[in-house]
Amino acid sequence: MPNVHGPVSLFWFRRDLRTVDNHGLWQALRREPQVMPVFILDEDILKRLPARDARVEFILEALRALNQQFCGRLRVLYGKPKAVFARLFEQHNISAVFTNEDYEPYARRRDQAVAKFCRANGAEFLSFKDQVIFGPEEILKDDGTPYKVYGAYARRWRARYQEDPPHLFASSPLLAKALSKNKIAPAPRDKMPTLGDLGFKTTGMTFPPNKSSRIHGYARHRDLIGEDATSHLGIHLRFGTRSVRQLFQAAAPIDDTFASELIWREFFMQILYHFPHSAQAPFDPRYEHIRWRNDKAQFKRWCLGKTGYPLVDAGMRELNATGFMHNRARMITASFLCKHLLIDWRWGERYFAEKLLDYDMAANVGNWQWAAGSGCDAAPYFRVFNPTLQQKKFDANGKYVKRWVPELRSESYPEPMVEHEFARRRALRVYNEGLKK
């Protein structure tokens, strides 16, 4: 039995809930004689969530699977991260904390505070790139500034990938060896918290499988909403139950469009990293003066999927029922909220943040700003999606709409809440006025 009182290193899991190809875990296992895997259920994050939140269930499921792989030695602790570390440092002789980088503003502040605490207490704090193929500081223009346009960013990203393909940290054999050698520090018998212990209730939602079977034919089918032909891997990328390195390597030779979507993911991550103001304010400050109408009753109809536009309603109902919405429907519902209803994109962004299983701050903010026209490389504000034409084009046989709006042909289905042409002109006028200020 290894010495529980001897020096131990921690591996702190966050958005990387897997053992295979986990860079930070691999480094810890490779270098350290004893590793204690830890996950912190962050009180500050959990307290803000509603009592039913499927993402908490997803995390607990992933933690149970990890715990099995660690033969019951994963420590799952609840509290504010710094306070949890203070407890751990009292209980153990910790020499180093290993983790993987997280680029969201809150995570960066949290990690700086924990790193300072560790160093003040004589331990190293080591953080590795894992959640992305290229980090926000790696793909920059020649003058060292960040890209704001996707096309140019993606070209540089791809060139870098050719020159410097990512190394895989497929730690399965290493992990098996580590476990057989008892390298994983024995954990005190903490009980794995249940949903009820954390004050949450079950949602009954099911989660998409962690499979890449939908990559074949992705480019041809991805926009056909009724076919539901995208990968649904968003939640796995969000929580790291899927390695982006392995996914990209496997997918790129099969479907280049799919590969581009993974580059979009990294593009928005670096935008949020370099321009953190964009989480709350328009990326482009010229859009600060749009006079949103912000009608609460209209917002409610949009949330419930009762706008009278079948494709918009289908999208919102899919989101409310499953925690997922097809990408094209996300684009159309978002555009409808900002342009047709002139409701501030931040209201919609918050609603999606509450509901999406694959919610990711960088992707959500980036795409909402794209839809509102205020983001980097955004859709020009004067291009207003016509939801009826979009339906004809991308749900021609009505499969999607019939699935989510079964009462479409009945009297109970509402009239469109605003006429398209009127709304389009009004949006152009209001945007124009805002941009002149």
Ligand X SMILES: Cc1cc2nc3c(=O)[nH]c(=O)nc-3n(C[C@H](O)[C@H](O)[C@H](O)COP(=O)(O)OP(=O)(O)OC[C@H]3O[C@@H](n4cnc5c(N)ncnc54)[C@H](O)[C@@H]3O)c2cc1C
Gap between the Cα atoms of 97 and 104, Å rounded: 20
DSSP string, 382-421: T----HHHHHHHHSTT-HHHHHH-TTTTSTTSPPPSS-HH
**Cβ(274)–Cβ(146) below 8 Å:** yes
Burial class (CB in 10 A: 0-12, 13-18, 19+), 322: middle
Min CB(196)–ligand X separation in Å = 28
Stretch binding ligand X (CB under 6 A), from 99-107, 367-375, 405-413, 423-431 = 367-375
Bridge partner list, 35: 9, 184
- The window from 164-172, 193-201, 315-323, 325-333 that contacts ligand X (CB under 6 A) reads 325-333
Candidates 58-66, 138-146, 159-167, 227-235; binding stretch for ligand X (CB under 6 A):
227-235
Name the residue with tokens 């555009």: 335
Number of residues that bind ligand X (CB under 6 A): 26
Nearer to ligand X, 265 or 346 (CB): 265
Helix (H, G, I), strand (E, B) or coil at 36: strand
Alpha-carbon distance values, 289 to 272, 284, 383 (Å): 22, 11, 19
Stretch of 47-55, 154-162, 173-181, 360-368 lying at the interface with ligand X (CB under 6 A) = 360-368
Indicate whether 360 belongs to the interface with ligand X (CB under 6 A). Answer: yes
For residue 84, give Cα distances in angstroms to 10, 12, 117, 307, 317: 12, 11, 11, 46, 39
- Residue 177 CB, nearest approach to ligand X (Å): 32
Segment near ligand X (CB under 6 A); pick from 16-24, 183-191, 195-203, 354-362 = 354-362
* Contact flag: residue 317 with ligand X (CB under 6 A): no
Residue 330 in contact with ligand X, rule: CB under 6 A: yes
**284: DSSP letter:** S
Q: Which residue number, 25 or 262, has a Cβ lying nearer to ligand X?
A: 262
- Distance of closest approach, residue 264 Cβ to ligand X, in angstroms: 4
Does the protein bind ligand X through residue 352 (CB under 6 A)? yes
232 binds ligand X (CB under 6 A): yes
Q: Least distance to ligand X from the beta carbon of 202, Å?
A: 23
> Of the candidates 94, 114, 139, 233, which one interacts with ligand X according to CB under 6 A?
233
Q: How many residues does the chain have?
A: 437
Select from 366, 390, 388, 392 the least CA-distant residue to 379.
366
Which C-beta is closer to ligand X: that of 287 or that of 368? 368
The reply to whether 169 sits near ligand X by the rule CB under 6 A is no
**126 is a site residue for ligand X (CB under 6 A):** no
- Region near ligand X per CB under 6 A, out of 78-86, 95-103, 152-160, 263-271: 263-271
**CA–CA separation, 214 and 130 (whole Å):** 24
Among 269, 1, 300, 313, residue whose Cα is nearest residue 133:
269
Is residue 359 a contact point for ligand X (CB under 6 A)?
yes
Rounded least distance, CB 303 to ligand X, Å: 14
User: Shortest gap between Cβ of 354 and ligand X (angstroms)?
Assistant: 11
Stretch that binds ligand X, among 4-12, 53-61, 257-265, 423-431 (CB under 6 A): 257-265
The three-state (H, E, C) secondary structure of 59-111, written as one string: HHHHHHHHHHHCCCCCEEEEECHHHHHHHHHHHCCEEEEEEECCCCHHHHHHH
Using CB under 6 A as the binding rule, whether residue 268 contacts ligand X is answered as yes
Q: Which two tokens stand for residue 2?
A: 């290894």
- Cβ neighbours of 130 (radius 10 Å): 27
Q: How far is the CB of 113 from ligand X (least distance, A)?
A: 26
> Please, what's the b/e burial string for 389-427 (b: 16 or more CB within 10 A of its CB; e: otherwise)?
ebbeebbeebebbeebbeeeeeeeeeeebbebeebbebb
Candidates 43, 102, 223, 261: give the one binding ligand X (CB under 6 A). 261
The residue among 29 and 316 lying less far from ligand X, judged by its C-beta, is: 316
Cβ–Cβ < 8 Å for 320, 52:
no
Q: For ligand X, which residue of 126, 133, 331, 405 counts as binding (CB under 6 A)? A: 331
Residue 229 near ligand X by CB under 6 A:
no
Residue with tokens 């990328």: 237
Applying CB under 6 A, among 237, 311, 341, 405 the residue interacting with ligand X is: 237
Q: Which residue, among 39, 30, 124, has the nearest Cα to 76 in the 3D structure? A: 39
Residues that bind ligand X (CB under 6 A): 222, 230-234, 237, 261-262, 264-265, 268, 327, 330-331, 334, 352, 356, 358-360, 363-364, 367-368, 371
